[in-house]
Amino acid sequence: KWRRILSYWKRVNIPGPTPVPIYGNVLALSLNPRPYLELKCVYIYGKPSLRVAEPSLVKQILVQKFNLFKNREAPSGAKATLMSKMLIRAPYEDWRRIRAIARPAFTGGKLKRLYPLIDRCCRDLVDRLDSRVAANGSPVALRPFICEYIMSALGQCAFSTKVNTDPTHLFTTEPEGYFSVLLWNALVTNILPACLVDNPLAKWWHSDYLYHRVFTTDLMAGRRCDDADKRHDFLQFLMKGSHRTDGAAHPDVTGITDEEIFAQSFLFFVAGYDPTANTVSHALHELALNPDIQDRLREETAMNWNPDMDCDILCRLPFLDAVVSETLRKYPPLVRVERETVEDVVLTDDTQGLSVKIEKGVVVEVPVYAIHHDPDHYPDPSAFKPDRFLPQNRHNIKPYTYLPFGDGPRNCIGMRFGLLLTKLALVNVIQHFRLYHVIDTDASVKFKRGNYVVQSDISPVDLKRC
C-alpha cells in the first residue's frame, strides 16, 4: 500500500524528492533551514501534495479557479482546536462568514483612526533607542526594540491595551512564548501523524489555554459589563459581530461565536507580531548594508516629514513603498501558501504545453520564497534592489511572482495594517538615526530552521543620531 501511495506522482509524471513511508517528505521540509526552490511534489504522511511555482498556474489556483481551491488544509486532527477556527485555516463557509465580520476593521477609514496610536508607539520606539544608545552606545540589536514596538501597537489597536505600562500583563511578560506556541503547534501537528496529534498528550501542544486565560477572564467578560461600545479596536468589531443574528445587513452572514472571537484575536497577534517585526528588522538590516539606499529613503521622507504626517502622505512615498516591497520580496512573511482541492481539477498552460490533473483532496502549495528568489523573475535575486518596485519599473514584474500576502479572495486580510506598522516604523527610525553595518560582523542573514515563517538571526547595527 505504501509503495502505491508513494509512487502517486511518479505515475502521473510529476517529479519530486524521494519520500519515506509514513512521513513522506515532511521531515525534510520542516527541518530544512532554507526552502526548496526546485521542488515540484511532496508527500505528507503518504498524502500527495503538489508544489506549483508556474505563475500562470498560480493565478488559476489563487484566483481564476478559486471555487475549486477555496479551502486550506485543516490542521492534523485539530478539527475542534483553536487553529482550525482561525481565518487562515477555517473551512470556506466559516471563513466567508468570519471574514465578512472582520473586514470592516481594516478599511482605510479605520486605519486612519488607528494612525495616531501607532505613531505614538513609534515615538516611544525612538525614545527607547535614544536611551539605549545614550546608556550603552553601539552596536544595538534592533529586533528586541522592534518587537516591543509591534507588541505595543498591536495591544492598543487590537484590545485598547497599553501593554508597556502594565508589567504584569501577559503580552509584556511572555511575548515570545505566547507567539511561539502557535508555531510550535504547527510544527508538531505537521511532523506527527494525525493519530498521534489526536492523542490526549497533544493537549500539551495546543494553545487553547492561552485564549481562556487572556480573553475570557480579562477582556471579553469585562467588556460585557462596561460601556465597551466606545472602543473602536479589533476585538470590539468581532464582539459586535457576535450580536448579529438577523443578518439584515448581510443576509448570507450570521454571527460569530466566542470561540471564533478568541481565535481571530489570537491570530491578529500571531500574524501581526512576528511577520511585521521580521519585515521591519530585515529592512533596517538592508538599509545599514546599503547606505546609498538609506540616504535616498531619508531624503524622500524628510521632504514629507512633519508633525501632522498622516496615512495619506505615508502611502504617497514611492521609494518607501519600494523599499518595503523589496524587503517583502527578499524576506516574505510566509515561505509558502497552500490550498486544498474540493474536487478534481485540471490546470493548463497552453503556451508551455502544461496540463496537470489534480484529484480532490490534494493539497497544492505555492512556494512563495522560491518564486521570489527565482532569477527568471528577479535577476540577481539575492541583491537588495528597491528600484525593481518603483512605479516606472513595476511593469517588469510578472503577475503572480510577487506574493508576500498571498493573492485572491483568501489573501491576507490585515495586509494594509501590517504595511502601515512597517512603514511608520521605518520612517521614524530613519529620520532620527543613521544606521551602519558593524565592521567585522557577518552581513549575511542566518535563516532559522522551519518551513512556515521566514525567521532569521540578524547582526546588530551601529546607530548614530541624525
Q: Which residues make up each annotated binding site?
A: 412
Binding-site sequence positions for heme: 412
Q: Where are the alpha helices (DSSP H) in 349-414?
A: 368-372
> Do residues 75 and 81 make contact, with C-beta atoms less than 8 angstroms apart?
yes
d(CA 434, CA 429) in angstroms, rounded, equals 8
What the block records as the C-alpha cell of 430 is 530613519
Q: Which three cell numbers stand for residue 38?
A: 526546485
Please spell the DSSP secondary structure of 87-149, one letter per residue: TTTS-HHHHHHHHHHHGGGGSHHHHHHHHHHHHHHHHHHHHHHHHHHHHH-S-B--HHHHHHH
Instruction: Give me Rg for the CA atoms of the chain.
Output: 23
CA distance 95 to 267: 13
Contact assessment for residue 340 and residue 358, using Cβ atoms and an 8 Å cutoff: no
Longest dimension (CA), the chain: 68
- Counting Cα atoms < 13 Å in the Cβ hemisphere of 304 gives 20
How is residue 80 written as a grid cell?
Answer: 475542534
DSSP reduced 3-state for 342: coil
- 10 Å Cβ neighbour count for 80? 10
Strand runs labelled E in 194-258: none
